[in-house]
Structures are given as structure tokens and as C-alpha cells.
């Protein structure tokens, strides 16, 4: 039995689907039955659980061969790192109680740093805590900047005609589509070819600057002259607050953007065939433009 936390999310649903396609038993963990229903129709067992609750997670993990672990976002949390820590402690206790032997954990590029990385700081702490569990073989995947983050460019393009964020336009970033993360995680879970405590970066198809991203995305919506603008940190924070993000979360995202801009948050591994994935920004632009036109 494979247990997938965050089974309705961008990466979790891909992991669950790939394991089901391989004929494996899958228990999909989520907060509502309705959102889990598509996976149930494919053969998954649904487990309704709040992963901040130890007993619920322990029940979900009972009998697991291996698990896919992730920290669900909570953009309204007034103490986001504290929220992450409480979820990780619940998860770690449940893993110990259920006796899980293998787990793949969704972390991030930059998680090798102990602080100064915004929300990635919580993933650094999570890797450390999960790595302390006796008998658990843990693989922490450290993917690059999610291409799905580029959906956040849509409001500024709609309203002001420019793409923008607080990340500098000329800084090269490794970017990855979440479906590629899910594919890789599923493959490692099927192979269970890791032992002890290991990490692996996932670097996407190639490095990109936000200026290049704007050109590709602009072309996909018939705006080939679309420009990218770096917003001041203060403006970016105000925009996030306007979207309902907590003050603490907005501050952490600014800290993360600063980390990208000064290139402290950057891959530590040399690019290889193992950490390079197939989806290019040109491929992703088809999905992005669909969302743009539907919004």
C-alpha cells in the first residue's frame, strides 16, 4: 500500500495516478471526499484526514509500504513557519507510530540553508526532523521554482499589461513543471531505490530568466511584446495582502524573492540527466495561456 498525502494537489495527484497505473494499491489522503473522488474512481482508497492531527495521519499511514509526504500550504497562517513545524511534528509522530519504512518528501531547492529563505526555511527544518526518525528511509526531493507560480503573473498582465513580480528579470532560475515532480516521485516510490537519508534536486528542463518567461508566455497569448517588470518588494507585499495572504506569509515570500535575486537560493547539484526533466517553458505555455484566457 502506498499512501499519498496532498493527493489532490499538483504533485500528489500525479504520484497517485502513476502508482495506480502501475497496478499498485494507493491510499489517497485529503481533506474532503469530493476532491478525492476522481482518484477513487481510478481505484484509490480515500482517507479523509487533516495531516496536522496525529491520530488521523497514523490511521492513514497504517500498513503503508511507502508514503509521499508534503506540507500543505496555508497562506493565511499568522505564523507560517510555526504552522509548518506543527504539521511536521504531527507527521513524524504518525510515521513512527505506523512504522513506515520508505518516504519521499517534497522539499525545495534552497532547503540546504537553515534560514533566510522564506517558507523554504520550514522545509529545511522538516527534512531534519523527518531524517531523525529511526528506521525511515527518506528521500527529500528539492525541486526548483514551480512553473505553476507563473499563474500569479496573470492579474498584472490583465490589469496593467505587464508581467511582474519581485524577482529580478535577468536572474537565471531553474524552473520545473509540477507534473514532472510527480512523475519523478512516483518512479522513485516504485523503485524504492533509496536508503538512509538522501536528497535530490530536480532542476526542470533549463534555466530561465523572468524576461525570457515573459516573452514565451506573451507569445502564447498573442502579446509578443509583453514586458517583464520587477516590482518593489513593498508593492509585491501589498499585492499579496490584497489576495488574502497573511502578513507573515507576505514577508516570507519577500525574503524568498530576495534569496532568488542574490542567488543564495540556487541549485547545489550539477545538472544531469537524473535531475533534468522534460517539460519546457514552451510546453507549459499552452497550459498557462488556457488559464489566462479563462480568467
- Encode pLDDT of 73-125 as tens digits: 888 999 999 999 999 999 999 999 999 999 999 999 999 999 999 999 999 99
Confirm if 175 and 281 have CB atoms less than 8 A apart.
Answer: yes
CA–CA separation, 145 vs 133, rounded Å? 28
Question: For strand 228-230 and strand 163-165, is the pairing parallel, antiparallel, or unpaired?
Answer: parallel
Q: Which pLDDT belongs to residue 269? A: 97
CA–CA separation, 92 vs 235, rounded Å? 38
> How would you class 176 by CB atoms within 10 Å of its CB: exposed for 0-12, middle for 13-18, buried for 19 or more?
buried
**CB 235: neighbour CB atoms within 10 A?**
12
- pTM of the full predicted structure? 0.95
Q: Which pLDDT belongs to residue 73? A: 86
Extents of the domains making up the chain: 2-144+177-202
CA–CA separation, 120 vs 227, rounded Å? 29
Q: What is the mean pLDDT of the chain?
A: 96
pLDDT of residue 232 exceeding 90: yes
Cell numbers for 130: 523527518
| CATH superfamily assigned to domain 2-144+177-202 | NAD(P)-binding Rossmann-like Domain (3.40.50.720)
CA–CA separation, 256 vs 166, rounded Å? 10
Amino acid at each position: 500500500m502506498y499512501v499519498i498525502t496532498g493527493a489532490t494537489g499538483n504533485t500528489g495527484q500525479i504520484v497517485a495516478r502513476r502508482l495506480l497505473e502501475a497496478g499498485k494499491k494507493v491510499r489517497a489522503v485529503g481533506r474532503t471526499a469530493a476532491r478525492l473522488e476522481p482518484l477513487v474512481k481510478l481505484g484509490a482508497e480515500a482517507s479523509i484526514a487533516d495531516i496536522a492531527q496525529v491520530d488521523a495521519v497514523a490511521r492513514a499511514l497504517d500498513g503503508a509500504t511507502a508514503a509521499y509526504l508534503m506540507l500543505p500550504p496555508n497562506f493565511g497562517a499568522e505564523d507560517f513557519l510555526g504552522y509548518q513545524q506543527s504539521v511536521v511534528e504531527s507527521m513524524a509522530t504518525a510515521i513512527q507510530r505506523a512504522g513506515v519504512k520508505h518516504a519521499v518528501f517534497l522539499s525545495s531547492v534552497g532547503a540546504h540553508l537553515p534560514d533566510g529563505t522564506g517558507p523554504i526555511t520550514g522545509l529545511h527544518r522538516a527534512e531534519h526532523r523527518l531524517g531523525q526518525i529511526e528506521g525511515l528511509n527518506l528521500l527529500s526531493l528539492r525541486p526548483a521554482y514551480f512553473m505553476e507560480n507563473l499563474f500569479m503573473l496573470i492579474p498584472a498582465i490583465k490589469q496593467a499589461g505587464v508581467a511582474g513580480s519581485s524577482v529580478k528579470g535577468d536572474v537565471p532560475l531553474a524552473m520545473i513543471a509540477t507534473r514532472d515532480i510527480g512523475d519523478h516521485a512516483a518512479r522513485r516510490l516504485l523503485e524504492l531505490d533509496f536508503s538512509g537519508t538522501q536528497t535530490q534536486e530536480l532542476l526542470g528542463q533549463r534555466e530561465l530568466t523572468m524576461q525570457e518567461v515573459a516573452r514565451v508566455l506573451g507569445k502564447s497569448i498573442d502579446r509578443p511584446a509583453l514586458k517583464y517588470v520587477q516590482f518593489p518588494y513593498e508593492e509585491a507585499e501589498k499585492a499579496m495582502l490584497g489576495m488574502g495572504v497573511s502578513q507573515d506569509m507576505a514577508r516570507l515570500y519577500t525574503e524568498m524573492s530576495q534569496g532568488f535575486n542574490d542567488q543564495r537560493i540556487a541549485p547545489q547539484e550539477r545538472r544531469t540527466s537524473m535531475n533534468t526533466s522534460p517539460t519546457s517553458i514552451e510546453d507549459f505555455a499552452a497550459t498557462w495561456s488556457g488559464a489566462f484566457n479563462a480568467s
